[in-house]
């Protein structure tokens, strides 16, 4: 993968496994990657009551990706 990755997941998602998603993220190779875990949120983050924060996080990540491009293998685990 040659693009920066933002991986967002709700930890209360009953459709897909949070643990499997986290394990996949760990193995994912990308020049930079960030996983955002939203406590208490389910499968459709953009339809949750906290969607304003989710969308703001997406926009902030896009701005950051545009500013810094793909700087090596930066990794992060971020719980909102």
pLDDT digits (tens, 9 = 90+) for 31-69: 888 999 999 999 999 999 999 999 999 999 998 887 765
CA distances to 20, 30, 32, 78, 79 from 55, rounded to whole Å, are 23, 22, 20, 15, 15
Dihedral sign for Cα 56, 2, 34, 43, please.
positive
Per the listing, tokens 């983050």 go with: 45
Work out the number of other CB atoms within 10 angstroms of the CB of residue 5: 18
Helix or strand run (H / E) with residue 58? helix 51-68
pTM value > 0.85: no
- Whether 6 has a pLDDT exceeding 90, the answer reads yes
């Amino acid at each position: 993968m040659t693009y920066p990755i933002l991986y967002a997941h709700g930890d209360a998602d009953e459709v897909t496994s949070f643990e499997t998603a986290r394990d996949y993220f760990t193995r994912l190779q990308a020049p930079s990657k960030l996983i955002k875990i939203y406590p208490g949120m389910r499968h459709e983050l953009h339809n949750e009551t906290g969607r304003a924060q989710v969308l703001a996080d997406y926009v902030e990540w896009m701005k950051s990706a545009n500013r810094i491009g793909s700087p090596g293998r930066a990794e992060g685990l971020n719980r909102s």
